[in-house]
Amino acid sequence: MVVIGIPLKYYRLADGRNILYLTEQLRRTIQKAGGFILPIVQVQDVNYCDTRYNELDKLTKKEKEQVEEYLNKVDGVILPGGHKITHYDEYLLERCIEKNIPTLGICLGMQLMSCYKEDFKVYPNESNINHFQKSDEGTSHIVKIKKDSKLYEILKKEELEVNSFHNYHVLINNNYKITATASDNYVEAIELKKQKFHIGIQWYPEIDYDNNPDSKKLIDTFIKECKK
């Protein structure tokens, strides 16, 4: 059994209640690919929906120990899409890297990777490319993949059509290597060297896993790496 840890994200319902959630698309996809999901619950006593990043306290020693308990039980981690980055997310990523846990960052997860050991900064999209499509069906644009990358090694192609659901983009820090970009030069994929599997992508392979061979190959390869 391959255990995949996925941190739950936070959201406010229309009736005002705050919830933690895991999207059904991601749950079903990882289970189809052979993964057993372990939800990783936020450890701080904080209302993340109402608290800004600069108002959050750093994790305490006890809270860090709780994160460690989760990571001791997983074979891999997926950092999913969402709407906000917290110190909890940053610490989780840091420990995944230090423990060399196979990690896949999706959309906000990739953006989290881009701020590793640096301040988190995102920039509004100002492009003639549609980076936020209206429907889950279909794709938005093409990304170009560098041949000297793990992503190319997996997909065996230099161009890939992807879906897109983000209003902001990131630049890159010196820790990660850019491995794919859109024609407007926005960063679409990044990797961290000297890790078993550590890839961040701006698109959502779980959305079209059932009908896109490239998305299926990427997810399946991640699960296989987690088995090793």
| CB-CB contact of 164 with 202 (8 Å) | yes
The confidence score (pLDDT) of residue 27 equals 98
pLDDT digits (tens, 9 = 90+) for 171-203: 876 789 999 999 898 999 999 988 999 999 999
Burial 154-163, CB ≥16 within 10 A → b, else e:
bbeeeebebb
CA distance 129 to 137: 17
Check whether 111 has a pLDDT greater than 70: yes
- Pick from 207, 173, 216, 209: nearest CA to 191: 173
pTM for this entry: 0.94
More confident residue, 134 or 73: 73
As a whole number, mean pLDDT of residues 80-89 equals 91
As a whole number, mean pLDDT of residues 25-39 equals 97
Architecture of domain 2-227: 3-Layer(aba) Sandwich (3.40)
Taking all residues of the chain, what is their mean pLDDT, rounded to a whole number? 92
As a whole number, mean pLDDT of residues 206-214 equals 96
Percent of the chain with pLDDT over 90: 72
As a whole number, mean pLDDT of residues 55-76 equals 96
The confidence score (pLDDT) of residue 135 equals 77
More confident residue, 26 or 52: 26
The confidence score (pLDDT) of residue 173 equals 67
Burial 177-192, CB ≥16 within 10 A → b, else e:
ebbbbbeeebbbbbbb
Quick one: CA torsion of 172, 207, 72, 195, rounded to 10 degrees? -40
The confidence score (pLDDT) of residue 196 equals 94
More confident residue, 121 or 64: 64
Domain assignments of the chain as residue spans, ordered by start = 2-227
pLDDT digits (tens, 9 = 90+) for 115-152: 888 777 777 778 788 777 787 777 778 999 999 999 99
As a whole number, mean pLDDT of residues 144-168 equals 92
DSSP per-residue string spanning 149-198: SHHHHHH--SEEEE--B-SEE----TTSEEEEEETT--EEEEE-TTSSSE
